[in-house]
């Protein structure tokens, strides 16, 4: 009889613990497709490509076939500094601004 009472109490506690346990909600994050977030990018000399916002500028420049001058490649010297839509940015460490573009780089 004692074992039956203990067994019943264990079942009740397990059920109560399951009932009182915090629930976990899993949410999926939808991201825009690449084709919708691609922006037109133009470098000096008419070198053009398309890229996603947030892409490393060094990679975008290489993709366009633009050969930028680099010094330290750490963002300290300013050798690779260009203006994009009027704002100074360093190609070696910079990211393509988020947005629809188009983005035009000048020296």
- Does the domain made of 37-106 have the CATH classification 3.20.20.80? no
Closest CA to 105 of 73, 79, 81, 78: 81
Cβ–Cβ under 8 Å, residues 39 and 50: yes
pLDDT, one tens digit per residue, over 8-52 is 566 666 655 555 555 555 454 444 444 457 899 999 999 999 999
- Percentage of the chain modeled with pLDDT above 70: 65
**Which of 5-41 are b and which e, b meaning 16 or more Cβ less than 10 Å from the residue's Cβ?**
eeeeeeeeeeeeeeeeeeeeeeeeeeeeeeeebbbeb
> What residue segments make up the domains of the chain, in order of their start?
37-106
**pTM as predicted:** 0.62
- Cross-strand pairs, 95: 56
How far apart are alpha carbons 6 and 27 in whole angstroms? 40
Residue 52 Cα distances to 4, 33, 36, 58, 87, angstroms: 66, 10, 9, 13, 18
| Model confidence pLDDT, tens digit, residues 25-37 | 545 444 444 445 7
Residue 41: alpha-carbon gap to chain centroid: 18
Q: Which of 99, 102, 103 is nearest to 91 (CA)?
A: 103
Tell me what the mean pLDDT of segment 78-95 comes to. Answer: 91
pLDDT value at residue 71 = 92
């Amino acid at each position: 009889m004692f074992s039956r009472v203990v067994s019943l109490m264990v079942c009740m506690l397990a059920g109560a613990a399951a009932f009182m346990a915090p629930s976990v909600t899993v949410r999926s994050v939808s991201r825009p497709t690449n084709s919708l977030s691609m922006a037109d990018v133009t470098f000096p000399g008419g070198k053009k490509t398309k890229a996603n916002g947030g892409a490393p500028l060094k990679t975008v420049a290489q993709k366009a076939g633009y050969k930028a001058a680099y010094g330290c490649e750490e963002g300290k010297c300013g050798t690779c500094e260009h203006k994009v839509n009027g704002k100074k940015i360093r190609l070696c460490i910079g990211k393509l601004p988020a947005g629809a573009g188009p983005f035009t780089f000048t020296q």
